[in-house]
Structure 1
Amino acid sequence: MSSPAVTPPRKAAPASAASRAVVHKELLLNRRDPLLLVMMFVFPIVLVALLSSALGGAFALGDPPDYVLVGRQSTAVAQRLGEPESVVSLDEARRRIGAGEVSFAVVTGDDGEVRQLIADPATRILLPTMLAAIEGKAPDVVGPDGKPYSSGASPYAATLLGFVIYHAFFAASHAAQSVHRERTWGTWNRMLTLGLGKGWLLTAKMIPTVLVVTLQGLLLVGGGCLVLGIPVHSPLGLAAGCLLAGLCVAGVGAMLAAVSRNDAQVPQLNNLLVLVGGTLGGSLVPLAIMPSWVRAVAPLTPQYWLVELFKGATSRGAAAADMAFEGLMVLLFCAVLFGVGVAAMRWDRFRHA
């Protein structure tokens, strides 16, 4: 009596084909999720349209932001604007404003009166506050390049960039839930049969988030700059910033998938990270009017470096070396976040009995 034929085990699909299959599936799910699309592409536009003027008026009621002084220091100026952060030369003031280290430089004459105001084009929303504090005849306002301020500044420069970056990180919740969803649906075991390493599998799950966030940046920031009159000094830097934002959000998603116990816990943790990081990183409120301790800890958030990179590529016109450094800092956050996600992931808990 002959023994039954043994069916050979099915070969795993090539890694490239398996990765494409995972990415394609996630893209289809993202397209069918209206809440994600509204949060990523509609909410930022609504906030920019409704809150830009309101925030500008609110800032005008507060104390003047920090500034550096060029020229003679006078008691009258100090009473109106507060003590300067430091007294510097004209070239140093322009360098510091161009690098985003300070938003304003007050240039005084021999009599101690304000003759000129050098302002950061990326924070025009704070200009009314400074002019109101100076009182009297309004001084000439120029950018760090010496050109008239109105030619390179937009009142939407801070809110457009900040709100888009702020909302981009909400996509991390969706990315992390896509991992937990496999357990809920009982499909994780099937995912493991694709023959992908677990690190590659997690990468494939995060790639759609990278694409969605990159597209969000290109459409909303790139298109918003054209519509709202925000100059784009480095289109390449802007495109790189959009891609880095996508990588960083995906890194947060990978970390959340690892540290969250279930899909219900993911949005709770992500909302906390978005609110804290967005506030401390300058996405919601310009750091120039925040307390000194907030400005000190801001670089510990990826949002800070993304905001600075976007400002440098657009209204600020930063040097390529400065933007490269900011991009490297974002990449460092991406590597750390994704590394934590891979290292801390407890893969066995996703198996469905």
Structure 2
Amino acid sequence: MSSLDRTLSIVRGNVTLFVRDPGPLVGRITQPVLLVLLMQPLYVAAIGDGARGTAQVVLGQLVMFSLLGTSVVGSSILTERRWNTLDRLRATPARVPELLTGKAVPVMGFLLLQQAVLLVLGVTVLGLEVTDPALLLLAAVVWAATVLCTGAAIATTVGSLAQFSAVVDVGSTVVAGLSGALVPLAAMPEWARTIAPVWPGYWAMEGLRSALDGDREATLVAVAVLLAFAAAAAAIAAVRLRRGWGRSTLL
């Protein structure tokens, strides 16, 4: 069996798991849609600019729920550990890159769908203005990849699904809040604005907002930083798998 065949086999297995239990996926898509529709008038009134208010609420909820979407990534990986099936996968000829790719493809599809639903809602219903769709697509794909790699790194580092859930729930709120996703940076305290660039969510907001405005240079800078975050997270996940993460005993 070729490397591609092994990867596709893992992809099919994970798609089947998603189809059999779609509840978490549906929730991660419907929740931000409802929040955007409810909160858009508030953001517009608070900011005093229809275009900026709409962009803030759409992009902010996109970043927030993308971060919460790491729960889907972690569940996909940790389920294999709980069922002791990751040990079986490791016993097959499949290599670490094949395992990671096989787990990543279905989750990446979900993250992109989640973002597409919010952006289409913003454009078609709320009048969100997109200057350069191709640039926005680039920023969205890179942000989804960053979320995916981050979720994999966390899932292969923690000792249980409960620990992962705690890290994701608390971490997503903190990162989104300090990145300017929930409140515009201009309205945040000085100390929060100072540390905002430390978080990947800040660069996601910068990249997506710049893409909406058609600012190619600023978008590419944000994309480069996000790719650095993604590469670091992917390296952590790969090292953890190579060192035997997923054995039946907890870390």
Residue 55 of structure 1: CA displacement? Answer: 4.7
The answer as to whether partners of 1:188 and 1:352 remain within 8 angstroms in 2 is no
User: 2:18 & 2:138 partners in 1: Cα distance?
Assistant: 23
Residue of structure 1 in register with 2:112 after alignment:
214
Aligned residues: percent identity? 27
- Asked if 1:21 is matched to 2:9, the reply is yes
Pick closer, same or farther for the CA change 1:349–1:248 going to 2, 3 Å: closer
Normalized per residue, the structure richer in helix is 2
The answer as to whether partners of 1:171 and 1:209 remain within 8 angstroms in 2 is no
Residue 307 of structure 1: CA displacement? Answer: 1.0
- Asked if 1:330 is matched to 2:251, the reply is no
The answer as to whether partners of 2:139 and 2:223 remain within 8 angstroms in 1 is yes
The answer as to whether partners of 1:176 and 1:256 remain within 8 angstroms in 2 is yes
User: 2:115 & 2:190 partners in 1: Cα distance?
Assistant: 30
Letter in 2 for 1:260: V
The answer as to whether partners of 1:213 and 1:242 remain within 8 angstroms in 2 is no
What root-mean-square deviation, in Å, do the aligned CA atoms of Structure 1 and Structure 2 show? 2.1
Q: Deviations over 1:254-293 (max 9, x none)?
A: 1112211012211111112201110011111111100111
Residue of structure 2 in register with 1:120 after alignment:
none
Pick closer, same or farther for the CA change 1:193–1:15 going to 2, 3 Å: farther
Letter in 2 for 1:286: P
Residue of structure 1 in register with 2:140 after alignment:
242
Does the residue aligned with 2:180 lie in a helix, a strand or coil?
Answer: coil
In structure 2, which of residues 48, 60, 72 is the aligned counterpart of residue 127 of structure 1?
48
Letter in 2 for 1:127: G
- Asked if 1:288 is matched to 2:202, the reply is no
Q: Deviations over 1:86-113 (max 9, x none)?
A: xxxxxxxxxxxxxxxxxxxxxxxxxxxx
The answer as to whether partners of 1:48 and 1:160 remain within 8 angstroms in 2 is yes
TM-score (norm 1): 0.66
Residue of structure 2 in register with 1:90 after alignment:
none
Give the structure with higher Rg (CA): 1
In structure 2, which of residues 130, 147, 152 is the aligned counterpart of residue 254 of structure 1?
152
Does the residue aligned with 1:259 lie in a helix, a strand or coil?
Answer: coil
Does the residue aligned with 2:53 lie in a helix, a strand or coil?
Answer: coil
The answer as to whether partners of 1:36 and 1:171 remain within 8 angstroms in 2 is no
Aligned positions of 1:1-353 closer than 5 A: 13-55=1-43, 59=46, 126-127=47-48, 153=51, 155-314=53-212, 317-345=213-241, 347-352=243-248
The answer as to whether partners of 2:96 and 2:241 remain within 8 angstroms in 1 is no
Residue 38 of structure 1: CA displacement? Answer: 2.8
User: 1:346 & 1:201 partners in 2: Cα distance?
Assistant: 11
Pick closer, same or farther for the CA change 1:21–1:208 going to 2, 3 Å: same
Bigger drift between 190-199 and 161-170 goes to: 190-199
The answer as to whether partners of 1:255 and 1:341 remain within 8 angstroms in 2 is yes
Unpaired runs of 5+ residues, structure 1, are 1-12, 60-125, 129-149
User: 2:133 & 2:141 partners in 1: Cα distance?
Assistant: 13
Q: Deviations over 1:47-102 (max 9, x none)?
A: 11112334555x4xxxxxxxxxxxxxxxxxxxxxxxxxxxxxxxxxxxxxxxxxxx
Residue 21 of structure 1: CA displacement? Answer: 1.2
Residue 319 of structure 1: CA displacement? Answer: 2.3
Q: Deviations over 1:191-213 (max 9, x none)?
A: 12431222431232122221111
Normalized per residue, the structure richer in strand is 1
Task: Tell me the number of residue pairs that the alignment of Structure 1 and Structure 2 aligns.
Answer: 249
The answer as to whether partners of 2:181 and 2:201 remain within 8 angstroms in 1 is yes
The answer as to whether partners of 1:207 and 1:250 remain within 8 angstroms in 2 is no
Bigger drift between 256-265 and 194-203 goes to: 194-203
Q: Deviations over 1:94-151 (max 9, x none)?
A: xxxxxxxxxxxxxxxxxxxxxxxxxxxxxxxx127xxxxxxxxxxxxxxxxxxxxx7x
TM-score (norm 2): 0.90
User: 2:240 & 2:92 partners in 1: Cα distance?
Assistant: 22
User: 2:193 & 2:19 partners in 1: Cα distance?
Assistant: 38
User: 1:220 & 1:227 partners in 2: Cα distance?
Assistant: 10
User: 1:155 & 1:294 partners in 2: Cα distance?
Assistant: 20
User: 1:22 & 1:155 partners in 2: Cα distance?
Assistant: 42
User: 1:157 & 1:272 partners in 2: Cα distance?
Assistant: 25
